[in-house]
């Protein structure tokens, strides 16, 4: 495993994103929607760094299954319960890869007529994009490596790591062949 971003670098980036968001949502009470499971650590740190009135809700979509490649088919495992009509909605992602997950979700949200709809992602992997998505708040741009830690998994492993690492190809292969 190779360290990509340390806990200190992540904290600095989260504080920076929070200050941008706070400036843009002054006097508003945004609804932050986290995409589970990967965003749970980032969202938890982001709302504390924001330290302003806001609401939080979650959805659970899945496009990966137990592998490193997006299937392109997005499944809704747990839909959004909070009404979004007229709300300032900020979607919070851990990583945008092919863009399938976010694109699907943004389309479904836009149909419900929010007052505004923006995206914040901690990680962006633009070299893998298949579907264009507009990202308003971006933490780090990453190369084409499989990342784990800070909420992000590989086959449900490694979400607990406090920093962000690149998983080497050999580690993915050995994990696939183990029970």
Task: List residues with catalytic annotation.
Answer: 97
Query: Which residue from 133, 140, 132, 116 is spatially nearest to 24, judged by alpha carbons?
Result: 116
Where helices occur in 66-113 by DSSP H, the ranges are 100-110
Could you give the CA distance from residue 29 to residue 80 in angstroms, rounded to a whole number?
18
Contacting residues for 144 by C-beta, under 8 A, at least 6 apart:
125, 127, 128
Pick 13 or 101: Cβ nearer ligand PRP: 101
The distance of closest approach from Cβ of residue 78 to ligand PRP in the complex, given in angstroms and rounded to an integer, is 11
Could you give the CA distance from residue 38 to residue 88 in angstroms, rounded to a whole number?
22
Pick 88 or 93: Cβ nearer ligand PRP: 93
Site membership for ligand PRP, residue 93 (CB under 6 A): yes
Pick 70 or 118: Cβ nearer ligand PRP: 70
The two counts, helices (H) then strands (E), for the chain are 4, 9
- Sign of the torsion formed by the C-alpha atoms of 88, 94, 96 and 99: negative
The distance of closest approach from Cβ of residue 60 to ligand PRP in the complex, given in angstroms and rounded to an integer, is 7
Site membership for ligand PRP, residue 112 (CB under 6 A): no
Query: Which residue from 66, 43, 132 is spatially nearest to 96, judged by alpha carbons?
Result: 132
> Which of 4, 101, 166, 167 lies at the binding interface for ligand PRP (CB under 6 A)?
101
Could you give the CA distance from residue 7 to residue 71 in angstroms, rounded to a whole number?
31
Site membership for ligand PRP, residue 97 (CB under 6 A): yes
The distance of closest approach from Cβ of residue 66 to ligand PRP in the complex, given in angstroms and rounded to an integer, is 9
Q: Contact region for ligand PRP (CB under 6 A) — 95-103, 137-145, 160-168, 171-179?
A: 95-103
Site membership for ligand PRP, residue 114 (CB under 6 A): no
Pick 45 or 153: Cβ nearer ligand PRP: 153
The distance of closest approach from Cβ of residue 26 to ligand PRP in the complex, given in angstroms and rounded to an integer, is 28
The C-alpha angle with vertex 125 and arms to 123 and 131, in degrees rounded to 5, equals 115
Contact set with ligand PRP (CB under 6 A): 35-38, 62-64, 70, 93-102, 153
């Amino acid at each position: 495993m190779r360290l990509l971003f340390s806990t200190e670098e992540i904290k600095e980036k989260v504080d920076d994103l929070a200050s941008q968001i706070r400036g843009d949502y002054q006097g508003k009470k945004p609804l932050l929607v986290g995409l589970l499971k990967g965003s749970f650590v980032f969202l938890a740190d982001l709302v504390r760094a924001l330290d302003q009135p806001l609401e939080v809700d979650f959805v659970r979509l899945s496009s990966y299954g137990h592998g490193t490649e997006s299937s392109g088919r997005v499944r809704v495992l747990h839909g959004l319960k909070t009404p979004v009509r007229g709300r300032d909605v900020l979607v919070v992602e851990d990583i945008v890869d092919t863009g399938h997950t976010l694109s699907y979700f943004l389309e479904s949200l836009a149909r419900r007529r929010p007052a505004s709809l923006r995206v914040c992602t901690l990680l962006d992997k633009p070299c893998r994009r298949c579907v264009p998505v507009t990202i308003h708040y971006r933490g780090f741009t990453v190369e084409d490596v499989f990342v784990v830690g800070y909420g992000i998994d590989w086959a449900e492993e490694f979400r607990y790591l406090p920093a962000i690492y690149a998983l080497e190809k050999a580690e993915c292969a050995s994990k696939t062949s183990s029970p």
